[in-house]
């Protein structure tokens, strides 16, 4: 009963008291510009082997982000997309656009949260991919594995925002549910700024599933105009979100 013992361990970890702390920071030059790189530790109590466990999350900060209407990307880790350049999803492009948009604005934060595979972890993400090879879409594959469609949590993002002095944000995302979840954590999201990504033949099915089944607002046709769309949304009147 491997799956049963796994889920017991997971629920033990999930119920452990969580404490988040600002742990370290330094300036890091990137191809987009220099970001103040702030690491937060989310303590998760005792792990299955008895040792203390924690997750480390990162805020890439540019400019003075105290105050209102700070441009923010809240991004969740995707090892396959960002490191291996997998073509199955748009995570790397989303991260790239987020870093670029913040650098161009000269003020903002990219929050990088260590919740791989929409929160289910790398191993289970690849198990879901295996089911997708047999025809399931991304939502059905997770359900077949008994996993949630989206297990991401945003308490860490809320902590980072408060710690960095962000009073309200313009959020770079196509996902209205992320806006709702951040607001539920007490974050003032003034505006949703869309991030249009051009699909490739491998990612188009995934993007369409996100659009049809997970409420993501994707205008796939508009991908080429992305830079202009971000600029217009940031600098012009506020959208309905
Ligand atoms: Zn991805």
Closest among 107, 110, 83 to 95, alpha carbons compared: 110
Q: Which fold has domain 14-115+152-240?
A: Rossmann fold (3.40.50)
Active site residue 44: no
From the candidates 124, 152, 153, 213, give the one annotated as an active-site residue.
152
Predicted pLDDT of residue 45: 75
Helix extents (H) in the chain: 2-15, 79-82, 91-105, 122-133, 138-144, 155-163, 176-184, 204-213, 226-235
Q: Which residues of the chain have pLDDT under 70?
A: 1-18, 215, 217-241
Task: State residue 126's pLDDT score.
Answer: 93
* Cα of 82 from ligand 1 centre, angstroms: 7
Domain ranges of the chain: 14-115+152-240
Stated pTM of the model: 0.79
- Per-residue pLDDT of 66-75, as tens digits, reads 999 999 999 9
pLDDT at 71: 97
Ligand 1 center to residue 31 CA distance, Å?
21
Structure confidence at residue 121 (pLDDT): 87
């Amino acid at each position: 009963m491997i799956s049963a013992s796994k889920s017991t361990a997971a629920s033990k970890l999930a119920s452990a008291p969580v404490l988040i702390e600002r742990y370290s920071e330094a300036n890091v030059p990137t191809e987009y510009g220099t970001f103040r790189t702030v690491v937060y530790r989310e303590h998760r109590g005792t792990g299955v082997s008895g040792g203390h466990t924690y997750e480390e999350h990162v805020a890439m900060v540019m400019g003075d982000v105290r105050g209102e209407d700070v441009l923010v990307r809240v991004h969740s880790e995707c090892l396959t997309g960002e490191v291996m350049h997998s073509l199955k999803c748009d995570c790397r492009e989303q991260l790239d656009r987020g870093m670029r948009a913040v650098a161009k604005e000269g003020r903002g934060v990219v929050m990088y949260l260590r919740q791989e595979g929409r929160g289910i972890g790398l191993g289970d993400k690849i198990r879901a991919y295996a089911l997708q090879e047999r025809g399931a879409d991304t939502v059905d594959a997770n359900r077949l594995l008994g996993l949630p469609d989206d297990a991401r949590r945003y308490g860490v993002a809320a902590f980072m925002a408060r710690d960095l002095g962000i009073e309200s944000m313009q959020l770079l995302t196509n996902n209205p549910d992320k806006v709702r979840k951040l607001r539920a954590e007490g974050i003032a999201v003034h505006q949703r700024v869309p991030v249009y990504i051009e699909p490739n033949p491998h990612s188009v099915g995934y993007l369409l599933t996100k659009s049809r089944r997970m409420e993501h607002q994707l205008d796939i046709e508009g991908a080429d105009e992305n830079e202009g769309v971000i600029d217009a949304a940031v600098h012009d009147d506020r959208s309905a979100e």
